[in-house]
Amino acid sequence: MPATPESHQTIALVVRHNTAGIGEPVGRLLAFLQEAGYRVVFESETAAHLGLPGIEAMSVSGIGAVACAVIVMGGDGTMLGIARQLAPFDVPLIGINLGRLGFMTDIPVERMIPVVGDILGGKARAEKRTLLEGRVLRGGAMIACGLAVNDVVVARGAGAGMVELKVAVDGNFMYNQRSDGLIISTPTGSTAYALSAGGPLLHPSLGGIVLVPIAPHALSNRPIVVPDSSEIVIEIVSGRDTSVNFDMQTFASLAHGDQIVISRSPNHITFLHPEGWSYYDTLREKLHWNEYPSGEGKLR
């Protein structure tokens, strides 16, 4: 059981509400936390969709102001969405996996009660992660902005040809690139889209930003890691239906001459993992390292 909380300690729950049968594990976790003496609030959208009687709903900004921790039940997409919104408040995040990979939501739902109890009782490993912030400039004026936990992606339209991008780092011209797009990733995002495009894995404690071309025309255009103190400027030279997205969740359409200015955000997020958690264990499990095909054609 967790240590007895002070009366003012509030735990917020954010739940991927379209998961079949989600009511039962949510109910178990809610009862556990309330029995332990915590005030439990639900993020407003979660509360509206769950329809549980007698629960307290709260806005994200309200949660940021009062919660001592936020428990996210869902997949990495659920965690990405709420992490960006809560980044200015630096509220610790605990992830319970209801998705597939679960790099950020790393607690199995069947073990959530004892593990959450241990974490709230102080048996936890805190891990800070950096974010990126991006501004879209048109004629020198900002027309859009966003935060990214994983990545900022500039990409061509689905039915369009290649896009040409002019890329500079800290005011130094790096290259003009013709490709399907460019991924600018945090270490956290290096296990996501950047990895599938051939980028390297970056340990979360590294202070780096990785630029990964998407299907570049010139095979010499390779991924490059730059310091996370860098300012990266991407200008749209040519291409149709080009857009920029932040964590694949917020989008802005781009025109020729638009610039996307990307840098490390002053905010960060904090994950709370169980004691003994290891990044390398996570990689081995999620990426199926040390597994080989069995005689039946299944990995083991």
Check whether 249 has a pLDDT greater than 70.
yes
Strand-pair category, 151-155 with 163-169: unpaired
Mean pLDDT of the 62-77 span = 96
Strand-pair category, 181-185 with 208-214: antiparallel
Check whether 99 has a pLDDT greater than 90.
no
Provide the mean pLDDT of the chain.
Answer: 92
Contact (CB, 8 A) for 281 and 273: no
For CATH 2.60.200.30, the residue range(s) in the chain are 131-266
Compute and round to an integer the Cα radius of gyration of the chain: 21
Check whether 46 has a pLDDT greater than 80.
yes
Contact (CB, 8 A) for 153 and 245: yes
Q: Per-residue DSSP letters for 121-176? A: TT-EEEEEEEEEEEEEEETTEEEEEEEESSEEEEE--TT---EEEEEEETTEEEEE
User: Is-catalytic flag, 90?
Assistant: no
Q: Which residues pair with 167 in a beta bridge?
A: 175, 234
Per-residue pLDDT of 114-161, as tens digits, reads 999 999 999 999 999 999 999 999 999 999 999 999 999 999 988 788
Q: Model pTM?
A: 0.91
Mean pLDDT of the 53-78 span = 95
Could you tell me the pLDDT band of residue 292, with boundaries at 50, 70 and 90?
low
CATH of 131-266, one of 1.10.357.10, 2.60.200.30, 3.40.50.300, 3.40.50.2000: 2.60.200.30
Catalytic member of 76, 106, 180, 258: 76
Could you tell me the pLDDT band of residue 1, with boundaries at 50, 70 and 90?
very low
Contact (CB, 8 A) for 245 and 155: yes
Contact (CB, 8 A) for 130 and 265: yes
Q: What is the pLDDT of residue 232?
A: 99
Per-residue pLDDT of 254-289, as tens digits, reads 999 999 999 999 999 999 999 999 999 999 998 989
For CATH 3.40.50.10330, the residue range(s) in the chain are 10-122
CATH code that applies to domain 10-122: 3.40.50.10330
Check whether 5 has a pLDDT greater than 80.
no
Beta carbons within 10 angstroms of residue 279's beta carbon:
16
